[in-house]
Amino acid sequence: MTKASVRGQAYKNHWYGLGDEIEDCLAMIEGRAATVISSIIENSELPNTNSEDYQSLVLFLVQLRHRTFSAGQEQNEMMNLFMKATMSEGFQSSSEFDKEIQGTRFFYEHPALAALGSWPDVFPFALDLKCKLITIHGDREFLTSDNPVVLYNQFLERRKPIGGITGWATKGLQAFLPISSNHLLCFYDGGVYKYGNRRQNAISIQEMRDVDDLNSLQCMNLEENLYCSPGRKEEEVSRLVARYMRNRPKSRVNLRRGRLIEGDDVRDGTLLHIYKHDLRCALRLTFIRELKRTRKFKVGNRVFLPRNPAIQQAYEDFQQMVKSGNYKHGQFFHFLSDIRRGHLRSASTQC
């Protein structure tokens, strides 16, 4: 469509339940982020990484990734796979039972709540990401979609580890978010990549291929809708979508089974590994370089590769505190604050 109202776009009634509490909270986050983003667009400058404005920007990025229809569907598919796998493993299987299980669909009534439930805990993991502002000029423009936060990992993509590679705590993570037709935010692991000039927080790209590749991420990540300015030719956008849609993951999530130690009363059984299918398209952008010190990095047999082991250790300590009733889920940021103020001791003291 060449012209359409934004009213009703990427919208669903009671997506977060019947009450307004979640909507009100999200509106507050969006309001603070809108002020920061407007300033970025107007001045082509990013806030200092230690500022409250930068925290607001990262918080907006994380909650936006977790609140979309795509994120909700991801949660439903994970629930469905997990329930069917555990029921098949946990009961004496028969062909009739298996047939009944496979014909059943398990899902959340409000899947977005399940997706949003994790963002208060994962938000601190994203605060160490560096950020660059990408700008373009002339008749080129950035596209966006109904699933605009694109998570990627060039570093681990070519090393082909087991499982997912775009968790918020994962080494090599990248996040791309268009904020206008001429501005795009790139968040990235500064211990792995060099984006443009270190002394400048904005990059003006000249290569048409870079613009197309960044737009291709939106094409591959969208749920239903792609958005552009009214002046963009519909045929041009259609060609871009047709070109890159074939690189979309065939399914949202994957399940792997592994046998534990047979004969051991504690560890005998099946290990279920469920993870989302990440976007992988051999992305190459001219302004991104992998740091020399990381080029010999070996994945080995590790399933999870933390970007910041100190934060990861703190999160494991926090989970133990939740089990003992000292904290609640969603209070990880408060837990970190208590450690920094000296109120608590963690196995990691570098948070």
pLDDT at 18 over 70: no
Q: Which two tokens stand for residue 62?
A: 């994380």
84: pLDDT strictly greater than 80: yes
* Predicted pLDDT at 332: 86
Sign of the torsion formed by the C-alpha atoms of 82, 86, 315 and 295: negative
Cα–Cα distance measured from residue 308 to residue 311, given in angstroms and rounded to the nearest whole number: 6
Q: Please give the structure tokens belonging to residue 108.
A: 């959340």
DSSP 8-state assignment for residue 170: B
Tens digits of residue pLDDT in 273-316: 888 889 999 999 999 999 999 988 988 888 889 999 988 888 88
CA distances for 350 relative to 24, 339, 340, angstroms: 35, 10, 9
Please tell me the least confidently modeled range out of 3-17, 78-92, 224-238.
Answer: 3-17
Q: What distance in Å separates the CA atoms of residue 156 and residue 166, rounded to the nearest whole number?
A: 9
pTM of the model: 0.86
Closest C-alpha among 323, 345, 326, 325 to residue 336: 345
Task: Give the model confidence (pLDDT) of 244-268 as tens digits.
Answer: 877 788 888 888 887 665 566 655 6
| Residue 288, helix vs strand vs coil | strand
- Range in 35-44, 196-205, 246-255, 257-266 with the lowest mean pLDDT: 257-266
Domain ranges of the chain: 21-307, 308-351
What's the pLDDT tens digit per position in 107-158? 888 888 888 888 888 888 999 999 999 999 878 899 999 999 999 999 999 9
At 86, the amino acid letter reads T
